[in-house]
Structure 1
Amino acid sequence: MSEIINNREQLMTKNTDRLTILKGIFQDLHNGRNLDEVKAHFDALIGKITVDEITQLQHEFSEDGSIPKDELQRIYQEHSVIFQGSIEREKNLEKPEGAPGHPVHTFKLENREIEKLLQQQVQVHVDEFAKDDSSENIFHLLQDINLLLDIDKHYSRKENLLFPYLEKYGIFGPTTNMWRIDDFIRDAIKEAKQKLASYQGERQEVLGVLDFVIQEVSGMIYKEENILFPMALKNLSEDEWIKIAHESDEIGFCLSGPEEEWKPERKALAENAITEGYIKMETGFLSLKQLELLLNHLPVDITFIDHEDVVRYFSHGKERIFARTKAVIGRTVQNCHPPRSVHVVEELLADFKAGKKDSEDFWIKFRDKYVYIRYFAVRDEKGNYIGTLEFTQNIDPIKAIEGEKRILS
């Protein structure tokens, strides 16, 4: 028994020593050391690295707080260069992701289609545009960019379905970083489209944006398939993968889709039936079934977060404006928003909690809708803050109303 304990202690010491060395190596990146020198140092001292070590390393850098987020972004990008070809594959693991319809199988199918689009169309048309910025070559690139905009669905499923489960297992570093890069890619694709649509001869600017898109999208595919997906497969349960597969349709797919419905060997989770117990309220009685149907038939989307900023409920109407999946339940609202907009959410909630505000309204153009977004501080009869209600409505039909329509007409 003492031999087993000693072996375990030696293994823990070895792992701690490796992590210390890894942190030192990547601290050199922050201090401005040449990337090639750091790579050589990594190869000599570490050689191979596991997904667990990558997760722990990036988590500790994120939690440390001494490195600015923008600087972390650069360091994580360079991490990927150093890790390339050095990630150690785990042996003897079952591979459920090989089954058609499994979320990871579908993610990888999409990645193959994205690669095909980049290599066989975008890069070809970029090279032609570099030689001749004719209207025909601009048109070809615009067609490619319109297809590439579909990548938003791939990233949205990753961010709204996969990331919440990883966070439940205490894995934050890689997910936060990836979401930030996803946003950079989305913005760059939109910028490329805008520059091409209003092209006035700025050839080098357009080429710079397109080269960035190709490089970053390709890099994200590598990060997903060598870091994110293995990490998720190691941590998520089959039940969680079933939920992700079930909810993926609501967001949609990119350039491809599941080959078939995924059917694990064991039976899928049975949906919990809504009991028919009644709820007594101040102004009446409703069954749970009636209450849920009533909320889902409102011509608005509502979401409720509690006093600890945790998402507790959202309505599920026929035409949602913003994508919501059941994976957000139990997740903090800060982690449901892109990193660049979290500060706005936190300021609003702070005002509600402090009693400075009781509501806040926003209105934006979103795709083909004019969206009115309202936030209300929910307080009890003593004025204590209980949570926040988000109320979202497409007001285009309301803005179009003219004259009168009486009930008898």
Structure 2
Amino acid sequence: MDKIKALTGILTRLNNGESIESIKDETKDLLEKISPTELSLAEQKLVEDGMKTEDLRGLCVIHMEMLKDTLEKLKASVDKQHPLYMMITEHDSILGFLQQLEQLNNKIQCMDKDSIVEENVKNLGELAKNLISAENHHLREEDALFPELERLGITGPTRIMRMEHQELRARKKNLLQLSEQFDSANLDEFKKQVDDNAKYLIFNLRDHIFKENHILYPSALESVESSEKWQEIKDKCDEIGYCPFSEV
């Protein structure tokens, strides 16, 4: 079967709510046949063929599955107190929140005026608060890690990450406001707004984490050679503080 066609089929199933675990064997078989470059080209082709960007969010899951071993090697190359180790483990928690959000959004989209589940609205607020609680993670990147990379001439990626942080912050706050201002009389609008913000976060935050884990962080580890400099970054991270879910 054509690789693009097979990939489209897997993405369609993921977008319909099927979990990555349920099609793990098929995904593994596909990953053995397609390179990261081909995967990127497939993504471009799918967009050109009319697939919405937010419906490509399953690609982030596949990307991460492909490069899981590479990420584990990076973690193994530093100690558990290293700034990058901490940031990667925090990413794992954030990805868990996104998986919960994807499942919850599917439930919310199935609600109608005769079957409103208040627990879903409550859980939406809790998930939004969990995502917002990652703020110190972003601040440690922006104020401790990025300045050193920019000093070394790595400015493009950090500029993009800063811009993405701003938009992601706004979307997280939108979800929280939606949960706090839920009006059953405007259920359709509520569902539409939740779907828009949830899908944006699920796709873009996963993609953001992918770029940091597999491009920015490896570049940082390669570029910042001094252990003393990493200690300075660590001291600044400690000063900024960590997240409620951080392993400290």
Give the alignment's TM-score, normalised by structure 1: 0.40
| 1:323-334 correspondence to structure 2 within 5 Å | none
Which residue of the partner structure matches residue 256 of structure 1?
Answer: 245
Post-superposition Cα deviations, 1:32-67, rounded to whole Å, max 9, x if no partner, equal xx922999xxxxxxxxxxxxxxxxxxxxxxxxxxxx
Residue 81 of structure 2 aligns to a residue whose secondary structure is coil
Aligned counterparts of 1:101 and 1:163: Cα–Cα separation in 2: 18
* Alpha-carbon shift at residue 257 of structure 1 (Å): 2.8
Post-superposition Cα deviations, 1:341-361, rounded to whole Å, max 9, x if no partner, equal xxxxxxxxxxxxxxxxxxxxx
> What is the aligned counterpart of 2:129 among 143, 146, 149?
146
Unaligned runs of 5+ in 1: 1-33, 40-73, 75-79, 260-409
* Alpha-carbon shift at residue 128 of structure 1 (Å): 1.5
| 1:1-400 correspondence to structure 2 within 5 Å | 35-36=44-45, 97-119=77-99, 121-132=100-111, 133-200=116-183, 201=187, 202=189, 203-236=191-224, 237-259=226-248
More helix by share: 2
Instruction: Find the structure with the greater CA-based Rg.
Output: 1
* Alpha-carbon shift at residue 96 of structure 1 (Å): 7.0
* Alpha-carbon shift at residue 115 of structure 1 (Å): 1.4
Q: Which has the higher contact order (CA 8 A, sep 6+)?
A: 2
Aligned-partner residue type, residue 250 of structure 1: E
Aligned-partner residue type, residue 235 of structure 1: S
Post-superposition Cα deviations, 1:131-172, rounded to whole Å, max 9, x if no partner, equal 124322101110111111012111110011111000111111
Aligned counterparts of 2:109 and 2:142: Cα–Cα separation in 1: 35
Unaligned runs of 5+ in 2: 1-42, 54-58
* Alpha-carbon shift at residue 123 of structure 1 (Å): 2.1
Residue 93 of structure 2 aligns to a residue whose secondary structure is helix
Aligned-partner residue type, residue 45 of structure 2: D
Aligned-partner residue type, residue 165 of structure 1: E
Aligned residues: CA RMSD: 3.1
Q: Does the aligned pair in 2 maintain the 1:102–1:245 contact within 8 Å?
A: yes
Q: Does the aligned pair in 2 maintain the 1:145–1:189 contact within 8 Å?
A: yes
- Matched residue count: 183
Residue 164 of structure 1 aligns to a residue whose secondary structure is helix
Q: Does the aligned pair in 2 maintain the 1:100–1:258 contact within 8 Å?
A: no
Structure 1 residue ranges, 4+ long, deviating more than 6 angstroms after superposition: 93-96
Aligned-partner residue type, residue 215 of structure 1: F
Q: Does the aligned pair in 1 maintain the 2:105–2:194 contact within 8 Å?
A: no
Cα distance change, pair 97–157 in 1 and its aligned pair in 2 (3 A):
farther
Cα distance change, pair 125–38 in 1 and its aligned pair in 2 (3 A):
closer
Aligned counterparts of 2:46 and 2:97: Cα–Cα separation in 1: 35
Aligned counterparts of 1:145 and 1:37: Cα–Cα separation in 2: 30
Aligned-partner residue type, residue 227 of structure 1: I
Q: Does the aligned pair in 1 maintain the 2:137–2:243 contact within 8 Å?
A: yes
* Alpha-carbon shift at residue 254 of structure 1 (Å): 2.6
Which of 139-148 and 125-134 deviates more?
Answer: 125-134
Give the alignment's TM-score, normalised by structure 2: 0.65
Cα distance change, pair 94–218 in 1 and its aligned pair in 2 (3 A):
closer
* Alpha-carbon shift at residue 255 of structure 1 (Å): 4.0
Cα distance change, pair 94–213 in 1 and its aligned pair in 2 (3 A):
closer
User: Identity of counterpart residues, as a percentage?
Assistant: 27
More strand by share: 1
Post-superposition Cα deviations, 1:86-109, rounded to whole Å, max 9, x if no partner, equal 99x99xx99775311111110111
Cα distance change, pair 95–190 in 1 and its aligned pair in 2 (3 A):
closer
